[in-house]
Structure 1
Amino acid sequence: MASRLTLTLAALGLAALLQPALADPPRAVVELFTSQGCSSCPPADALLVEYSRQPDIIALSLPVNYWDYLGWKDTLAHVAFTERQKAYAHGRSDRQVFTPQMIVNGKKSCIGSDRAQIEKAIQYTSKGRKTLPVAVNLSEQNGTVTIAVEETPETAQRDAEIWLLPVLKAQTVPIERGENRGKTITYANVVRGLNRLGEWRGGSARFEVSVETARRGGDAYVVLLQSTDAAKPGIILGAAKSPDF
């Protein structure tokens, strides 16, 4: 009997070890606007790879297309990312658009290769919290992703939207021309689309989308709950990442 109990407990312990670790709720979302044609960007791209390994940070690469004329067309760029960067600048009223630019929690602009500046921005925008203010949870079942925004004291009425971003967790690109000619750069969590799922006006809410749509063009995905101001992106209130992110 004792040996059977020992085997049972050992099996349960092994099963627990084999369970995937639950991801920490994020305390920050960092978006790097970068370009394969920008000579200043590789150090920022490498820094984003480091941030992508931190479980409480959602680190995203958004390649822009406005440096394509320099001799190398960015193979991952999308005009929607350029428009998002410009919308952030209009929202801040500083109109500063450059690469490498890091936007922290939808609010603070930083030089994308300046770790100290980025860390300061994370501390400033998180206001001492260990997580983003609004809890967003994801679950996958029967080919459907369910996104649940939880009712908390932080879910007061406000204008916000739910966005779904498919991502490629890693993409290595050999650059043959332009300012980075001869370099091979690995990009982390490259966004492949910006899909608006709906509005949020406070309280609890649920959104559903197919797993196929969530991953389209990528191999994982992120959900952002982001405030809006006159159709411009604002502070990120909550975020979640797919189980395999």
Structure 2
Amino acid sequence: MKNILTFIILFLLTGNTIFSQNYPDKKGFALLELYTSEGCSSCPPADELLGKIQNEYKDDNVYVLAYHVDYWDKQGWKDVFSNADFTKRQYDYAKFMDKAPIYTPQVIINGKADYIGSQETSLRNGIKSAISKSASSNITFETTQNDAKLSINFSIEGTSKNSRLFIAVIQKSAKSNVKRGENAHRVLSHYQIVRQLQSVDLNKAKKGTVSVHLPKNFNKQDFEIIGFVQDMNSGAILGVKCA
């Protein structure tokens, strides 16, 4: 009887080992997308909070992307980091979540839920909820820099029918001396600034190479590359990776 029990235990242990090898653990994550502007007086507290969260969770699967929208640029001060493409992305989220109007500072976590960017308790609860769920996609990257271009070899496991891979070029921090508008005469601190966002259609290819143009002042110390897979039917983020 003892030998039979030993055999059963060994069989179960072996089975568990094989299972874990075939199905790698897809750890939960939280991708926080902040929509902000230097022209918005409510935005600096959100910028500071997201910088604090980024630093606090730097060793965990929590990622911050700060998109500077352009619809504040006509209110007395043009945000040097603003981009019309980021405004369009925020409008896309409004359609995904059936919520209007858009506003700043808005934070969207994993493409599923939105929060006022300066409300710390709500954001932290959102992060806890997000990282408690397993990722749907697994992303691997290999990067090679050649002057002002970055070549990224990618491989994706687990996507939806209508998915895209997004590559974000992130400037980790910056300061701006705002001279006009709602934040006139203030020096603002920014964190995780999206300088460029590029997408790749994954309907056919789950692996390949994408070339990304880098900002003139790009360096590995002050910048980073974050890639994430998004379901374009629902807006949900399926997986994320820092290159």
Q: Post-superposition shift, 1:182?
A: 1.4
Tell me the equivalent position of 2:29.
27
User: Which SS does the other structure have where 1:49 is aligned?
Assistant: helix
Verify the 8 A CA contact 2:68 2:86 in the aligned structure 1: yes
Match among 177, 180, 183 for residue 177 of structure 1? 180
The normalised TM-score by structure 2 is 0.77
Radius of gyration: which is bigger?
2
The 1-side partners of 2:197 and 2:105 are apart by 20
Corresponding residue of 2:107: 102
CA contact (8 A) 2:137 2:159 kept: no
Shift of 1:172: 1.1
* TM superposition shift of 1:189: 1.3
Gaps of 5+ in 1: 1-23
Aligned length: 206
Structure 2: which 5+ residue stretches go unaligned? 1-25
Instruction: Tell me: CA distance 1:122–1:191, structure 2 relative to 1, closer, same or farther (3 Å).
Output: same
2:153 to 115, 127, 146: 146
From 227, 232, 236, the counterpart of 1:228: 232
* Equivalent residue, structure 2, for 1:209: 210
Deviation at 1:209, TM superposition (A): 2.2
Q: What corresponds to 1:188 in structure 2? A: 191
3-state SS of paired residue (2:91): helix
Which residues in structure 2 correspond to 1:126-137 (within 5 Å)?
A: 126=131, 128-129=132-133, 132-137=135-140
RMSD over aligned Cα atoms: 2.3
1:141-171 deviation line (CA, Å, top 9, x unaligned): 4753212213xxxx26532111111111111
The 1:214/1:116 distance shift into structure 2, 3 A limit, reads farther
